Amino acid sequence: MRKRLIAGNWKLNGNWALCEQFVDAFASLPAASLEAIKQQADVVICPTAVYLSRFDALIQSTSSILQLGAQDVSTESQGAYTGEIAASMLAESGAGFGIAGHSERRHRFAETDQQVVQKMQNLFAANVLPIVCVGEPIEQREAGSAESFIEAQLLPIATAVAEHGLAERPMAIAYEPIWAVGTGKSATPEQAQSMHAFIRSVMARFMDADSLRIIYGGSVTPENATALMAMADIDGALIGGASLDPEQFVALASV
């Protein structure tokens, strides 16, 4: 049985007040609801990195069920790389999870598969659970070549995991079709399930993929989350827009 992973990616949004609102929103739930959420899911917020330490201190001091993740990580581990943040620094600041290869990083910042793999390895090395994103553009979906596109993104990830002896280490794959991210047009549960099953079959060539969490991202809302997460191979969600609203995020964590 795979524990669900519900991760909110705040991107370049939010502020300290929102961090506090999220802790308050969960703290105000009845103890039984909190316990139920905790049993079924890891509930993770990925704020901008500058808030991690302070957010982590608040979570610890209030015994919140929230966990923290980083939105990105450097390919480097130390040195003269102005502005970069190393995986070990994220870990020390309270991040237990780290996103690598989000489509916005791949496209707007021209990140390559090789860099995504390096970021994943750095997260593993710092004991930060990597959430590695893959997703096809609309052209590939319409041309019927979505699976081969995703397979090409997965192979460098899976090969590195196998070659570096990481196959036993927990990680997650986030399937985020680019046409669904931030568009309000989610994949249907059937489309997502079909791709998740395909992703699991590809990863199974390199690891025991039964325990691999494969989460869906792309316009997830409390309205469509139940049907998505009812699918056999959908183990949670990576949420952008709806993760900025405490009420919606609590609803998503409670699905």
Which residues contact ligand PGA by CB under 6 A? 9, 176, 181-182, 217-220, 238-242
Check if 190 is active-site.
Answer: no
Residue 117: CB minimum distance to ligand PGA, A: 20
Question: What is the H or E stretch that residue 132 is in?
Answer: strand 129-134
Closer residue to ligand PGA, CB minimum distance, 34 or 237: 237
Of 104, 136, 176, 196, catalytic: 176
Comparing CB distances to ligand PGA, the nearer of 209 and 239 is 239
Q: State how far the Cα of 113 lies from the Cα of 168, in Å rounded to an integer.
A: 22
Q: Contact at 8 Å (CB) between 133 and 174?
A: yes
Identified catalytic residue from 102, 104, 111, 196: 102
For the bound state, the minimum distance from the C-beta of residue 190 to ligand PGA, rounded and expressed in Å, comes to 19
Answer yes or no: 176 catalytic. Answer: yes
Write down the least CB distance from residue 253 to ligand PGA, Å. Answer: 14
Give 126 or 239: the residue with its C-beta nearer to ligand PGA. Answer: 239
Residues 6+ apart with CB under 8 A from 48: 10, 12, 14, 71
Please give the residue whose beta carbon sits closest to ligand PGA in the complex: 240
Q: How far is the C-alpha of 240 from the C-alpha of 26, rounded, in Å?
A: 18
Distance CA 239, CA 169 (A): 24
Q: Report how far residue 126's alpha carbon sits from residue 117's, in angstroms, rounded to the nearest whole number.
A: 14
Is residue 66 classed as helix, strand or coil in its secondary structure? coil
Among 140, 232, 124, residue whose Cα is nearest residue 177:
140
- Amino acid in the structure at residue 97: F
> CB-wise, 8 or 34, nearer to ligand PGA?
8
Nearer to ligand PGA, 58 or 69 (CB): 69
Residue type, 206: F
**Which of these, 137, 136, 141, lies nearest to 154 by C-alpha position?**
136
Any idea what DSSP says for residue 96? S
Which residues have CB under 8 Å from 110's CB, separation 6+? Answer: none
Q: Which is nearer to ligand PGA, 98 or 240 (CB)?
A: 240
Written as one letter, the residue type at 185 is K
Rounded least distance, CB 162 to ligand PGA, Å: 26
Active site members? 102, 176
